[in-house]
Amino acid sequence: MTENETEGLALLKHYADDADGRVILTKMAESIQVANQFERRHWTPTVRKMNGWTVNLRTGQIYAITLRRDEVEVLVVPDDLNAEERGALNAAARREYSPEHPSGSSRYTLDWEKAVELWESIESAHHEALRAKRAVSGSKNPEANALIDFLGRELDVELPYPDQGAGSTGRTAFRALARSLEERGLHFPVETVANYLLALQTKRFAILTGISGTGKTQIAMAVADSFRATIHDQRAEEPDGSAVAEDAVKLKAWPYHFSYRQIVLPVGFATRIHPFLIPEPSSNGGTISTAYPGGRTTLKWWRDPNPAKNVTWLMFAGAHDFRDWYLESFQPGDQYYISFREGERSEEHQIEFRLAEAGTVERELDNSAVVPVRPDWVDNRGLLGFFNPLTNEYSTTPFLSCLLDAQAEVERAEKDDRNPHPFFVVLDEMNLARVEHYFSDFLSALESGKPIPLHENESIEQGQTESDVAVPRKLRVPNNVFFTGTVNVDETTYMFSPKVLDRAFTIEFDRVDLDGYTSGASSHQTSDLSLDSGDGGLRLSYEKPRRKHWLRFRELEGGRFHNTLRELHGVLEEEHRHFGYRVANEIARFVLLARDQSADKDGAAKAAFDLALLQKVLPKFHGTQQELEDLLRRLFNFAVYGRDRGRGRNVDVTLDGWKIGRDGHLTPKRRDEPTGEPVVGDDPNVEPDPPEFPRTGAKIWRMLRRLEQRGFTSFIE
């Protein structure tokens, strides 16, 4: 947390702890909503040190509200006040200042009490000042989202985030996400939503299984929608004929321009200038004079010797001045114009680049793709497409297009010096085909970070085909893409192999709260796991779990979770069903993320550890009663007692003494419920303690029940 953020939040808390201060914060929140309705890009909250720390609502370059320790500055349009209101304001003001913009406005400095007393009379004039036309807010303010989060949480209101120029924040407030799910008619406990988001951040691949019709696909799409960002694209307008030759051609900047420092000239343009391009002896290339807004240089060109291809490259890797201009002026997707001027002599022929009159167009990123899995998929062509040698084209898919768009967003973000916005892929009914057949290459690429080979055609890589789509020869999965597979289990589907389950977080959707669905509010919304730490909005980003996370995890609560996991690993190792380093790192990362992003850090860490055991250790368990019963009973004891409570007790917990509560957790039966025998001990006046890991315990309880009834059990039901 930066110094500005720390001081700004402290000042807001100072206001929130006082009755008059809370009124002022409420009015500031209303002003934010008014400013946002008028123009989303001309306001932002800021923190500045100006004779002490201040929190400000800046509109354009003017502070519309400034909060200090004991006074408030408010921008108003005095002409909108009547004589009595203006007289009262002048009498109460400690200072008055009239800025140049907006015209006719003044900023008045008031103490807290006077600000609260006069606000109702000056509010309309203040809002008029907020609506005045002005320039887009200038610099970016990293603390803006944290200030918005504090106000929203403290006042229990939903506030927008400012658009700070490079596109929308790409963040979402967790409470706003949960509320939007309810508004869509999707009924999920808060913990389920938090669990899903943490799983994506930890592994980038989550498998959602459970009862059909519980909203598995819908929650994935709703999360994608909540992170849909607004970006600003450069769009080239038609060139001014006086400034550009008649043969000017519009070009688009492709990603390969930046990777390989070369441009493939459009076929029509290359054909027209072909007679003027004189190759050097024994070569298919040469040089040509090139003019551009940054100056003049000489670029190399080269023509493919195969006339059937008709491909001509313009290369600028060695022309450092032109290279720097191109890389600084454009990003993938930008447009510009190129033309040719014939000279009297061959050395005077010239290619000209021109920056068109560029308009900035605001658009929403299409950041998601739903891919229905087909039962006839036996390789990755259904996902990644294929090269068609008959048409010399690459047949793309929505899945591949989403990955290419995500890669373009990564490159935009690098140029804008910001984090890339997230993209989401949903593999619907993922197990209708054998996952290992069509997804194995992709799983390996996710794990190793190595690229997936797609084709070996140079023209396709450079977008010189009829489809005008550039497809790279190899595809490295961008880190800003998150994958979700939805699963139903019946006679038409296939089970997952341990390899797949080991590389995903497997989340069950098996709780159906009809009472809450009827009333419109969940019957069990309370949870220790709620990603509401107020760190400027929730941002989905991925960092591969590593040993450093395991070492940090070791220090949590004096090593409690670390020691418990080591003991559990020992129990599993005896049966040769233990997990590897990858799972250990992922459990550690999952718990650390939950703790960092939740207000109740200790409660969130404990809940997340329970969920991590459930979702990373148990999914690979499937087999017969002879294979699994003894081990599952040992694990059930472990889930009930935990490492500390179970040590030294030779107690075999009976299933009859436990039940699944309405929240889906394992809970002991009351003494007055029929159990057949006491739960723990023989004293009927002592109620048993709740289990140490109620989520993991509930799943093992169900697996053991199925084992007793059918002689076989598995995690995915």
236 pLDDT more than 70: no
Amino acid at 567: E
Q: Tell me the C-alpha distance between 386 and 381, whole Å.
A: 6
pLDDT of residue 541: 78
135 pLDDT more than 50: no
pLDDT of residue 428: 95
Under the banding of pLDDT at 50, 70 and 90, the label for residue 238 is low
3-state secondary structure of 139: coil
Say which residue the tokens 């009498």 belong to: 91
Q: Tell me the C-alpha distance between 547 and 512, whole Å.
A: 38
User: What is the percent of the chain with per-residue pLDDT over 70, rounded to a whole number?
Assistant: 85
366 pLDDT more than 60: yes
How far apart, in Å, are the Cα atoms of 108 and each of 77, 122, 134, 272?
11, 11, 20, 67
- Exposure letters 386-421 (e unless 16+ CB within 10 A, then b): ebeeeeebbebbebbebbbbbbbbbbbbeebebbbb
Under the banding of pLDDT at 50, 70 and 90, the label for residue 136 is very low
pLDDT of residue 114: 93
Higher model confidence: residue 371 or residue 488?
A: 371
Comparing 176-180, 430-434, 489-493, 505-509, which segment has the lowest mean pLDDT?
A: 176-180
What average pLDDT does range 298-326 have in this prediction?
85
CB 234 within 8 A of CB 334: yes
Under the banding of pLDDT at 50, 70 and 90, the label for residue 172 is low
Under the banding of pLDDT at 50, 70 and 90, the label for residue 249 is confident
pLDDT of residue 678: 45
DSSP string, 464-494: -STT-----SEEPPPTTEEEEEE---STTS-
DSSP 19: H
Under the banding of pLDDT at 50, 70 and 90, the label for residue 21 is very high
- DSSP H helix total and E strand total for the chain: 23, 28
What average pLDDT does range 657-661 have in this prediction?
88
pLDDT of residue 48: 85
The angle at the Cα of 340, spanning 334 to 343, to the nearest 5 degrees, equals: 150
pLDDT of residue 580: 93
Structure confidence by residue, pLDDT tens digits, 210-234: 888 888 999 999 899 888 887 766 5
pLDDT of residue 507: 94
Under the banding of pLDDT at 50, 70 and 90, the label for residue 41 is low
Under the banding of pLDDT at 50, 70 and 90, the label for residue 649 is very low
Highest mean pLDDT among 38-47, 370-379, 535-544, 645-654: 370-379
CA atoms within 13 Å, Cβ hemisphere of 589: 24
pLDDT of residue 149: 82
* Mean pLDDT rounded to a whole number for the chain: 83
What average pLDDT does range 689-697 have in this prediction?
90
Under the banding of pLDDT at 50, 70 and 90, the label for residue 91 is very high
Comparing 235-244, 461-470, 586-595, which segment has the lowest mean pLDDT?
A: 235-244
57 pLDDT more than 50: yes
Which residues face 394 on adjacent strands?
A: 387
Structure confidence by residue, pLDDT tens digits, 182-196: 777 788 888 999 999
144 pLDDT more than 50: yes
Short-list 57, 30, 33, 24, CA closest to 43 = 57
What average pLDDT does range 53-73 have in this prediction?
88
Contacts for 671 with CB less than 8 Å, ≥ 6 apart? 684, 685, 687
Comparing 43-47, 317-321, 524-528, 590-594, which segment has the lowest mean pLDDT?
A: 524-528
Under the banding of pLDDT at 50, 70 and 90, the label for residue 579 is very high
What average pLDDT does range 638-646 have in this prediction?
70
653 pLDDT more than 60: yes
What average pLDDT does range 71-85 have in this prediction?
92
Q: Tell me the C-alpha distance between 625 and 709, whole Å.
A: 10
pLDDT of residue 240: 46
CB 481 within 8 A of CB 206: no
Under the banding of pLDDT at 50, 70 and 90, the label for residue 709 is very high
pLDDT of residue 449: 87
pLDDT of residue 530: 81
What average pLDDT does range 239-244 have in this prediction?
47
Structure confidence by residue, pLDDT tens digits, 445-489: 888 889 999 998 877 887 766 666 788 889 899 999 999 999 988
What average pLDDT does range 367-371 have in this prediction?
94
What average pLDDT does range 315-329 have in this prediction?
86
